[in-house]
Chain A
């Protein structure tokens, strides 16, 4: 864990000296979509789904990304999986800019980075048997021969708690939890280095959810995987993640050790978010009940300054004008909030980042 602290600090300094050790390194990554009437080039509007996100994901850690629906966390997952090109900024995988990836680089990347998506049923091709679903990544990436793959399918199915005798069956013959196990087995089939999990438990029943989390924890320790775990469920994220990033309206507003961020939130938004989680312990009640007015801002029309200021109870005058940057507020803890840099006027060079150009 100490390694993490060091690397986080260095990232904030913006030296980039540790670039080769990070699995993913994002600097000011944004993703915009053009929406609406596209008949003319000036028609429609720009939707900012991911906005100036800077973070790094280190080998072997599980990085949790939390936030409300529509905060851009799934878009971020798509960017990490190279399903969508980034609009601006830099996304590096093991120090190499993904924009410079050749076809072969992408293939290598696919072998190293696998994913489990939210809805297990719709992410399995209904027309393929479980066996061919699990073995297809190996087949596509040229791993083993037919017999070896078949054996590996059985091993994997056992590993994720499925009876290998069912490998000739089709996805619709399985329950949601079993389907998610199939998805996990498929992701593990090529022995990836990174697993991106986009809300892997939110489509499941609570009892099944616990089983899947247990399976993921098990896999994580067995394979020493790097994981990116995206969820809106803070309890689940706290259980599985080493570090977390909290997202609001496309931005990362706070990062740090999972327990610290969720137990003692710094950013006003994180405080509201964590206070909204009901505690399983009846004796442990949050001292004050924090409620938010208003809605999460539309990504089509983001407020100036801090994205959260219209709803923030502690907003300062400069919050409406200046956009706070992620700043180191204590060891391995960053927040993007003016409350933590009371004296310093926001100067672009202060934390090694350039001012946003729009």
Chain B
């Protein structure tokens, strides 16, 4: 098992390095921060001064090696906008994002898995049709529209729930539904197809011959064997939610990482964008690593290979 984890760790490190290069280049291709920071003043000397202060006058390769060197020493740079270490800025936002991501994941797993299982078990039946329609809607209706509709109905019309900001469970409900909407649909569809695959197999036939109740056949034998793709998609969704439910956070003015990165990108705040992107990459790698390790528990065949 150890070699398995190690090989995945090495791959993860390579992935993160690759992401860092791409983000570094992309941010620098996106515009000139010195011009933004300079504001309305048109003084060339001041412009040069800003460039020198930020190190933008150096060749790209030099900039990148400085950046990498700093990171290896634990220095993630200072936000040009906030004038504080980027790590501190991100740290403040992270709990909010984690809360939203957790709630969103709860919605998508709590709804998606049972609906997918029932749809597969009653293939072609009413629940199946309903679930499939819901899956299609979930994946084809954009998140921003869902968010706006939720606000319109539950906040504006009914006045039941707050439309923005944080503070308590009530504030969490609408953003959680909006953010979980899309992933509920993907979890549902994936659960359904994984279950259909498994339900077709010989050992399910065998489980019925054994005399197991239908509930036990479906929830114990079949769902356990269908769990690998479900865990995979849940992991990807979690990572995506954690590092930027950008649209949802903007709609509900949720002070998470997603809205932070939007502001940072608009303000050409390269160090902050880079730190958030790095955080995203690390999160993805870690979530995938945990999912990979989880596979081994879900399926004893995997570690044997």
Contact = CB atoms under 8 A, between A and B. Distances in A.
Interface in B95-130: none
B171 interface: no
A136 B300 contact: no
Interface stretch (A94-102, A124-132, A224-232, A337-345): A124-132
Contacts of B206: 115, 117, 123-125, 183, 186
A190 B209 CA distance: 12
Nearest to B298: A127
Nearest to B208: A83
Contact of B207 (A114, A125, A172): A125
Number of chain B interface residues as a range: 20 to 34
A140 B225 contact: no
A150 interface: no
A117 B301 CA distance: 22
B57 to A, nearest CB: 60
Contacts of B83: none
A333 B298 CA distance: 53
Contact of A172 (B211, B216, B304): B304
Contacts of B140: none
Interface in B168-192: none
Nearest to B300: A170
B210 A140 contact: yes
Contacts of A358: none
Contacts of A125: 203, 206-207, 221, 225
A81 interface: yes
B225 to A, nearest CB: 6
Nearest to B198: A125
A73 interface: no
A111 interface: yes
A120 B115 CA distance: 32
B136 to A, nearest CB: 17
A127 B201 CA distance: 13
A122 interface: yes
Nearest to B301: A172
A32 interface: no
A118 B202 CA distance: 9
B268 to A, nearest CB: 52
A259 interface: no
B9 interface: no
Nearest to B216: A140
A123 B211 contact: no
Contacts of A115: 206, 209
Contacts of A186: 206, 210
Contacts of A113: 209
A173 B202 contact: no
Contacts of B211: 107, 110-111, 137, 140-141, 190
Contacts of A136: 207, 210, 212
B299 interface: yes
Contacts of B300: 126-127, 170, 172
Given A83-B205, A172-B304, A173-B304, A127 B213 contact: no
A126 B212 contact: no
Contact of B210 (A110, A170, A172): A110
Nearest to A38: B124
Contact of A127 (B202, B205, B224): B224
A119 interface: yes
A124 B225 CA distance: 12
Contacts of A122: 201-203
B202 A117 contact: yes
A24 to B, nearest CB: 15
B299 A110 contact: no
A125 B212 CA distance: 14
B211 to A, nearest CB: 3
Nearest to A119: B202
Nearest to B210: A137
Nearest to B124: A38
B17 to A, nearest CB: 36
Contacts of B201: 122
* Most chain A CB neighbours (cut-off 10 Å) among B216, B300, B304: B300
* Most chain B CB neighbours (cut-off 10 Å) among A122, A123, A127, A183: A127
Nearest to A142: B211
Contacts of A126: 203, 225, 299-301
Nearest to A169: B300
A210 B201 CA distance: 27
A175 to B, nearest CB: 14
A83 B299 contact: no
A170 B209 CA distance: 21
* Most chain A CB neighbours (cut-off 10 Å) among B203, B205, B304: B203
A7 B202 CA distance: 35
A127 B210 contact: no
Interface string A136-152: 11001100000000000
Interface string A289-305: 00000000000000000
Contacts of B212: 136, 140
A110 B209 contact: yes
Given A111-B211, A122-B203, A127 B225 contact: yes
Contacts of A119: 202
Interface string B268-305: 00000000000000000000000000000011110010
Interface of B: 201-203, 205-213, 216, 221, 224-225, 298-301, 304
30 contacts: A81-B209, A110-B209, A110-B210, A110-B211, A117-B202, A117-B205, A118-B202, A123-B202, A123-B203, A123-B205, A124-B206, A125-B206, A125-B225, A126-B299, A127-B224, A127-B298, A127-B300, A136-B210, A136-B212, A137-B210, A137-B211, A140-B210, A140-B211, A140-B216, A141-B210, A170-B300, A172-B304, A173-B304, A186-B206, A190-B211
Interface of A: 81, 83, 107, 110-111, 113-115, 117-119, 122-127, 136-137, 140-141, 170, 172-173, 183, 186, 190
